Chain A
Amino acid sequence: MTIDLLPNIDTQLIEILETVSDPEIPVLSVLDLGVIREAIEEKGEVKIKLTPTYSGCPAMDVIGDDLKSAFAKVGKKATVELVLSPAWTTDWMSEAGKRKMEAYGIAAPLEETADKEALLGNKKIVKCTNCGSTNTHLVSQFGSTACKALFKCDDCLEPFDYFKCLK
């Protein structure tokens, strides 16, 4: 499934790419996140194109270093290039990734219209990751990292993160 989303990745590299995760959301691999736009092997060297989720995302430097060291471990040299265009969207996250994220306690991004309704507080549609209730409300449009908003459940009263839809 990740292969469908990322046609420009050499299949033999997938196994190693899967081992590199987002430092803020460790259950998500860089492939789940959809930030690898290209990974090809040429003359023994791996060339990776990485796109940031948000411009200022501090995780990008870490992910770049992690990628290099993951390939170094198997004796391959990797170069990482940061690309901005086309800009990352939450559509590039894999379905498996979204499920893993939910299990980890972060509500996955809704589709665009639903996301707007949720963030404007018009509709109660974001599901609590703790009890599953949609009786939740937005606490802040900005959460613990740039890509998340903060919600609270009005049934079980737990606060939780919601991964914002970005299109």
Chain B
Amino acid sequence: MKDEMLYNYILGIADNSLILGQRFGELCGHGPSLETDIAGTNISLDLIGQTRSYYQYAAKVSKKDITEDDIAFLRLEREYRNVLLVEQPNTHFGFTIARQYLFDVYHLLFLNELQHSKDETLAAIAKKGIKEVSYHKRFSGDWIKRLGDGTEESHEKMQEAINGLWRYTDELFEMTEADHEMVASGIGVDLSQLKETYYEELTELLTEATLEIPERKYFSYGGKKGVHSEHMGYLLSDLQYMQRTYPNMQW
């Protein structure tokens, strides 16, 4: 029972990284400039690398005969526990950056707490991740400023992206059953404690980027329960294509 809860908890963390890595990775070869393209793929690589560490650990915890690949490629849509924010498609570059930044700020706050986890493996993955995610946030934050405080058009597009994605931010702090259990046993992070700092940090940077903070009372939830947006199925069909077409294939 406890192992199953830990398994669910690990997937909850890992799926965010996998899906965001997959999304940003879709821009590989399509970035607005060579340097940005490379930056995007590097960030995706970090995220997928972190995911691998989590999934390898989850496979061990499950005590079943499964590997990281089974977890990544062979689950159904409803079994992925990532938040809605990370699965939103790349529309324009400003949107991709806004999605990244909204997640990066949360991600760093989260890992900063997870490094104190009583679970040694999770703490180790977090410590490693902090170094990488600090770079991600610096990159996405710089672009928010550059585009927000840029031309009239870039400002407008960035504001539109922030407004569009804002409704997915509250879900980051939604506590699942696994979250509650893991906080109680000293393994997990109490997400509600991160919320205030998160919005403070966003407000500071968005203000500097001459952007307005959206006023929103209603938020979208569901990802953590496996109820995803319509975009998720398309993403998974790309992600899972090889394993579905050639079952058990290996590189």
Contact = CB atoms under 8 A, between A and B. Distances in A.
Given A85-B123, A87-B124, A167-B131, A56 B49 contact: yes
Given A84-B124, A146-B45, A55 B129 contact: yes
A71 interface: no
Interface residues of B, number: 27
A150 interface: yes
Interface in B107-135: 120-121, 123-125, 127-129, 131-132, 135
B49 A57 contact: yes
A144 B124 contact: no
Interface stretch (A30-38, A102-110, A134-142): A134-142
A54 B38 CA distance: 16
B37 to A, nearest CB: 10
B47 A141 contact: no
B35 A150 contact: yes
A56 B52 contact: yes
B198 interface: no
A164 B135 CA distance: 10
A64 interface: no
B139 interface: yes
Nearest to B124: A85
A44 interface: no
Nearest to B131: A166
A58 interface: yes
B42 interface: yes
Interface of B: 35-36, 38-39, 42-43, 45-50, 52-53, 120-121, 123-125, 127-129, 131-132, 135, 138-139
Given A85-B127, A141-B135, A146-B42, 5 more contacts: A52-B49, A55-B125, A85-B128, A87-B131, A164-B135
Q: Nearest 10 pairs between A and B by C-beta?
A: A56-B49, A55-B49, A85-B124, A140-B35, A142-B39, A56-B45, A84-B124, A142-B42, A87-B128, A55-B50
